[in-house]
Structure formats: C-alpha cells, structure tokens
Structure 1
Amino acid sequence: MSASVLEIIQWKAQPGVTDAAMVAAMQALLPDLQQLEGFISKTMYHNADHWCELYHWQSEADAQQSNERMAGQASLQALLALVQPDTISIQIMHQV
C-alpha cells in the first residue's frame, strides 16, 4: 500500500465569527468528507483567528479532487461564508 498524503488547509476567520460557529461549520463537513473516495481522517487546529485542518488522503489525486467534489455541498458553502477567502492556503505533502 502506498503512503498517505497530507493536505494542509489554513485560513483566517471573518471578523466577528465565533470559535463555536467555526467549529460547528467544520464538524458539519465530516459526513460529506467521509463519502469521498480516498478520505482517511481530518484534524482541526486553531490559534486566535487562524485555523488549520489537516486531511489525510489515500492519494494526491484524492486530495486534489476533494475540493471539486465538495464544491456543491452546503456544508462547504456554510464554512466558506465564515472564512476570509484571500487567506486560504492549501498544501499537499507526501509521507516519507
């Protein structure tokens, strides 16, 4: 079996967004993510208005296709409404 892939997504919350609202929106993603091919797990991190989620995928293709596959999901749209779009960064890293 090949090594897993880590997708690191970081962003800043919109002004006035509470921690509870952000956590609820991120947790609402999980059922949709679990339906995606190659999804393994996710972990959430937070510091002030900076947020980070680590996603483990079976392959880089799974990670890259996840954004397209999630694009129409209400759960992702709800999360994106809480995020400053220009602060979003995505990195994909390979396990060694």
Structure 2
Amino acid sequence: MVIRQLQITVEWQSIEWLDLAACRDSDAATQQACRRCPVRAPCLAAAIAIDDPAQWRGGVTRDERIVLWEQLETAFQNLRDLEFTHLDRLVDGRSAG
C-alpha cells in the first residue's frame, strides 16, 4: 500500500546492485543462486515493490513475497489507524493517553 500509493517503479536495468546478482547471467533465479547471492536484500525489496512474478527473488518464493506484502500492508494500516485515533482524541480535546 505504501509503495503503491507512492507509485514507485523500478527500472531493473539501471539498478547498480543488479550487476552483483548471482542470477545475472542465468535465465532465471533459483533457490541455490539466491542462497549465495550478495544482494538478496535489495533484490527482495525490489521484487516486493514491483510485484515481480518470478518464482525466486531475494531468496524468497513468490508465494512468500505475497505473504510478506500482506503483512506489510496490515502493519501500515494498523499504524495509520492508530494515528487517526490519536488525532481524533486531539481534536476532541481528550488526552492521547
């Protein structure tokens, strides 16, 4: 939700870390390649941000990335709702407690 709201896109060919990816010269990433890859974290972040359809990215399967995304959205919504509750209390003149 956060990334989608900001309309972030990733241009894969202009990402500096991509040259270091273990799967750079292969047809597709594999679990074994991801295990030895030095850029797992930025790869995973980019894959989540653009909803990459590849099976393996950042050492995580597509299904696992979907779960991670859903958890991120839930956390964002909970924090947003908490902030709205706090603002409502301030507007109503009540203590934020």
Both structures adopt the same fold (TM-score exceeding 0.5): no
Q: Give the alignment's TM-score, normalised by structure 1.
A: 0.30
Q: TM-score, normalised by structure 2?
A: 0.30
Greater CA radius of gyration, 1 or 2? 2
More strand by share: 1
Q: Bigger relative contact order, structure 1 or 2, given CA contacts below 8 A and separation 6+?
A: 1
Relative to its length, the structure with more helix (as a share) is 2
